[in-house]
Structure 1
Amino acid sequence: MGIKEFMISFIFTSILLSILFIPTLLTKSFAGIRPSSFSGHPQASPFPVSFAYLISASKGDLESLKRTLCALYHPANYYLLHLDLEASHEERLSLLKFVSAHPIFSQVGNVWIVEKSNLVTYRGPTMLANTLHAMAMLLKTCKWDWFINLSASDYPLVTQDDLIHAFSSLPRDLSFIQHSSHLGWKMNKRAKPIIIDPGLYNLKKSELMWVTKHRTVPTAFKLYTGSAWMVLSRSFAEFCVVGWDNLPRTLLLYYTNFISSPEGYFQTVICNSKDFKNTTVNHDLHYIAWDSPPKQHPISLGLKDYRRLILSFAPFARKFKKDDPVLDKIDREILRRNDGQFTYGGWCSERGESNATCTGFGRHENSGVLRPGAGSRRLKALIVKLLSMRNFKRKQCR
């Protein structure tokens, strides 16, 4: 590819990604359930904090997506589901029917589906574009405290009551984002090569296009890398989408042609921002198992990993194969969740009830009752460790 063709493609893809910063255009992107009075007036929510989830899936992930949604569901939170363009029309229609016909989703009105799906190319910036798109929609639609991006192959290791209880005493500006400026092999393999993602202008996935000439490492900002999975504060999400500083847009243009940009964009933005670099907690709140040396994909988790999952104290883990037996064990022993039901919580239980049945509202649906358990204690222990003097400042944006 010549330099002329490259510049044309660069400008084109940059303009497409920049459109994401106009949230007024996003109101037509929802399908399924509209907000009810419960989620339409979040300031009246009886729960101390709330989370906005993006759960992404592709072709063949429908059942995993449904299971993950039910395991994560809580009336205090908001859920945006994205099936990319590779998924079939039948899968998309089935998901819409599942959400629309569910009595609790209809009553609360806090589950949405992205109607105009994006094509997400593996290792390309389209995954980053999809995340920013979701953040913009959720910022415009509802009030929440933290944004969490997950895939259909992720699964919770704590109940939502545990998560809400553990986060209720935290400063709202903290973001949990694993990061490092030590790029190592990624310097030559990711930072210097230039790629173009055809998914930005094609309707079908194809391999990334590589430019023969490499670029030098930038001097206007410092590069960071880390996990693509994170928990971001609302204030930082607003900074990335409608920020008063030009830094997010400048870095977006740079990362348009960066390999695996979701593993570097948010890290580089937050650590080069004087307003947010001191709000970073260097952890992605996930348990992920990797080969040694790490390969492109993490190891699929199974029953043999169950003890390590618990001892990690993390609230999420990935990745799991569809209907792996370890998921049944997590449901049974951690989430107290039966097949097709929600994770146990105070919002769906009667007073004194301790069984694993959660199909709808109990008598305390408007009182904000939480019933945290061992998962909350584990997560609080992890957070205390991460925020200790030994870890928080010393591991922050270095």
Structure 2
Amino acid sequence: MSPPVGFILLTHAQPKQIQRLVDRLNRLFDHPPIVFHHDFSQCPMSIEHFPKNVSFVQPHVKTRWGEFSTNEAVIKAMELMQQRRDRPEWTISLSSADYPIKPAAQIIADLESSPADFHMVADRIDPANLKTGWHREMYARYYTRWIPMPKWIANPLKLNWQKLRLKPEKFMRPFVPFNANFQCYAGESWFCANQRAIDYIIDFHHKHPEIATHFRWVMFADEVYFQTIIGNAPHLKLDPNDWRYKDWSAGEPHPKILDQSDLPKFQASSAHFARKFPPDAPVLDDLDRMLFP
């Protein structure tokens, strides 16, 4: 019988914080299957002290924030999870800055009763109905192409990421993969997925390399690739509730860093995990006392 829940951890820094998260997941879920993709090129980390339920993607992918390499890292972690004898019914992706805020029994019950196959923040980006400024930004981001720029050009001109966007968007339409039968979905990076959703993502990734090729040329590919694959799968149900507590009130590119003042808010939420937490934040001790009385 498959375990109800397992985890994919995508990490690149803070080994002590990573170890703490693994310890809490093991205590909560009785040593569930955990697959790591850790970018050792950004932060060395000793792996021999991790328990036997933890496996690592080796060799790792050299990742960079917002680029397609993060999707490739997750795909490799999905494939490794797929190969495990204890492959779980549901897989939850986490970073080292995430932390559980609900008991395991509630998390498992919510997932087992879910009619969806894939929980991830996502919405369709319809060029004919760009409802908000966010939708317009997603259209500009994913319906265009980027070309690499040499550093000797990019640096003096202060071009972000050494890439230049080809515009206007209408001239790019023949060069993007979207049409009436394959539409763009965008949102946030973290997910909960059942076995058949993960199987479908892996199969699609290998059968449609042209889609991956397109997304290698866009910014923030982690916020569009899996969303688009699942959003266009007629036999799978996508639910935009990712069971995460995040506070975007600061208007920054990242969620607000959480502290003890936020504890009542995410306690009152239906979320299973919260992000982002700094290493050794006192609020993590508060959560430990709640989860392990």
User: What is the TM-score with the length of structure 2 in the denominator?
Assistant: 0.81
Q: Assess if the C-alpha contact under 8 Å between 2:10 and 2:95 holds in 1.
A: yes
Q: Give the unaligned 5+ runs of structure 2.
A: 126-134, 151-159
Q: Deviation string for 1:63-87 (max 9, x for gaps)?
A: 1101111111223621012320334
Identity over aligned residues, as a percent? 22
Superposed counterparts of 1:174-323, under 5 Å: 174-182=117-125, 183-194=135-146, 208-214=161-167, 215-216=172-173, 218-220=177-179, 221-243=182-204, 246=207, 249-276=209-236, 279-291=237-249, 294-323=251-280
The whole-number CA distance in structure 1 between the counterparts of 2:286 and 2:113 is 30
Q: Which has the larger radius of gyration?
A: 1
Length, aligned pairs only? 264
Query: SS of the residue aligned with 2:30?
Result: coil
Q: Assess if the C-alpha contact under 8 Å between 1:145 and 1:234 holds in 2.
A: yes
The structure-2 alpha-carbon separation of the partners of 1:55 and 1:193, relative to structure 1 and needing over 3 Å to count, comes to: same
Q: Please provide the CA RMSD for this pair.
A: 2.5
The whole-number CA distance in structure 2 between the counterparts of 1:147 and 1:197 is 38
| Residue 192 of structure 1: how far off its partner (Å) | 1.7
The amino acid across from 1:192 in the alignment is: T
The whole-number CA distance in structure 2 between the counterparts of 1:75 and 1:228 is 26
The whole-number CA distance in structure 2 between the counterparts of 1:238 and 1:78 is 17
| Residue 241 of structure 1: how far off its partner (Å) | 0.8
| Residue 253 of structure 1: how far off its partner (Å) | 2.3
Q: Deviation string for 1:283-333 (max 9, x for gaps)?
A: 1110111135x3221110011111111111100110000111111111112
Q: Deviation string for 1:16-60 (max 9, x for gaps)?
A: xxxxxxxxxxxxxxxxxxxxxxxxxxx3x6xxx52221112223x
| Residue 197 of structure 1: how far off its partner (Å) | 11
The amino acid across from 1:62 in the alignment is: P
The amino acid across from 1:98 in the alignment is: H
Q: Assess if the C-alpha contact under 8 Å between 1:301 and 1:318 holds in 2.
A: yes
Q: Which 4+ stretches in 1 moved above 4 angstroms?
A: 195-198, 243-246
- Pairing 1:64–2:17 present: yes
Q: Assess if the C-alpha contact under 8 Å between 1:193 and 1:210 holds in 2.
A: no
Query: SS of the residue aligned with 1:147?
Result: strand
User: What is the TM-score with the length of structure 1 in the denominator?
Assistant: 0.61
- Pairing 1:162–2:100 present: no
The structure-2 alpha-carbon separation of the partners of 1:135 and 1:245, relative to structure 1 and needing over 3 Å to count, comes to: closer
The whole-number CA distance in structure 1 between the counterparts of 2:276 and 2:165 is 34
Q: Deviation string for 1:209-233 (max 9, x for gaps)?
A: 4145243365432111111011112
Q: Deviation string for 1:130-149 (max 9, x for gaps)?
A: 01110011112232211211
Superposed counterparts of 1:386-397, under 5 Å: none
Q: Deviation string for 1:91-147 (max 9, x for gaps)?
A: 422xx2321xxxxx3xxx321123322211011101111011100111122322112
The whole-number CA distance in structure 2 between the counterparts of 1:304 and 1:187 is 36
The amino acid across from 2:49 in the alignment is: F
Query: SS of the residue aligned with 2:256?
Result: coil
The structure-2 alpha-carbon separation of the partners of 1:223 and 1:331, relative to structure 1 and needing over 3 Å to count, comes to: same
Superposed counterparts of 1:1-398, under 5 Å: 43=1, 49-59=3-13, 61-73=14-26, 74-75=29-30, 77-88=32-43, 91-93=44-46, 96-99=47-50, 105=51, 109-142=52-85, 143-171=87-115, 174-182=117-125, 183-194=135-146, 208-214=161-167, 215-216=172-173, 218-220=177-179, 221-243=182-204, 246=207, 249-276=209-236, 279-291=237-249, 294-333=251-290, 335-336=291-292, 356=293
Q: Give the unaligned 5+ runs of structure 1.
A: 1-42, 100-104, 199-206, 337-355, 357-398
RCO (CA 8 Å, sep 6+): is it higher in 1 or 2?
2
The whole-number CA distance in structure 1 between the counterparts of 2:78 and 2:138 is 27
The amino acid across from 2:213 in the alignment is: L
Query: SS of the residue aligned with 1:82?
Result: strand
Q: Assess if the C-alpha contact under 8 Å between 1:124 and 1:197 holds in 2.
A: no
Query: SS of the residue aligned with 1:67?
Result: helix
